[in-house]
Amino acid sequence: MAMTRRARSIAGFGAGFAAVVIAGSLAWVMWPTLSDAEDKPASEPSAAARPAEETARVTQAAAPALPDPAQAATTAAVPEASPLDGLKISSQSWRRGGLGSKALITFTLRNGNDYAVKDIEIACAFARRDGSHLTDRRRVIGQPVEMKSRKTFTRLHVGFVNVNADKAKCALVAASRV
């Protein structure tokens, strides 16, 4: 009899202690944190709230009087085209490998650039039969693709996918010049 009463009191203590820990954790998480935004003064009013002559004065003061020759040269230079501009996937297909959880992608890359491209990153999105999104997988291909050529990559392992994956669509993400 004394043993069961003692077991009940210990069990009651454990449940009470657990309730206090849970309540304390919730209070700690829910307690609003102090924000550093309260210390900062209000920002300047927007241009829409300012009078027109004040806005004109601010823009004239902000504009440089004489353009810097070095700055003019950099703005006049034509920006380089991205290696992705001339690179595209012309055909793609996929199949399962291993015990059905590996995604093996076969695709052909066409390089229309005037230079070779390497470190090509592809992103593949997998979907169910009804078209709903399942997962994304990325892979970097270190092999170069020569200029004005095409290269086929067969059964490239891009990662493990859900067993419900039925469709795959791959896109180019990044590439670099050789």
pLDDT tens, position by position, 91-101: 999 999 988 89
Indicate whether 93 and 14 sit together in one domain: no
Q: Which two tokens stand for residue 117?
A: 């491209």
Q: Residue range 49-73: average pLDDT?
A: 51
Q: What is the Cα–Cα distance from 135 to 140, expressed in whole angstroms?
A: 17
pTM: 0.55
Indicate whether 87 and 161 sit together in one domain: yes
Model pLDDT, residue 69: 56
Instruction: Considering only CA atoms, give the Rg of the chain.
Output: 31
Q: Does 19 score more than 60 pLDDT?
A: yes
Among residues 83, 85, 161, 93, the alpha carbon closest in space to that of 120 is found at 83
Indicate whether 95 and 114 sit together in one domain: yes
Residue type, 104: L
Where in the sequence is the domain holding 20, given as residue range(s)? 1-77
pLDDT tens-place string over residues 103-114 = 999 999 999 999
pLDDT tens-place string over residues 143-170 = 999 999 999 999 999 999 999 999 999 9
Residue type, 55: T
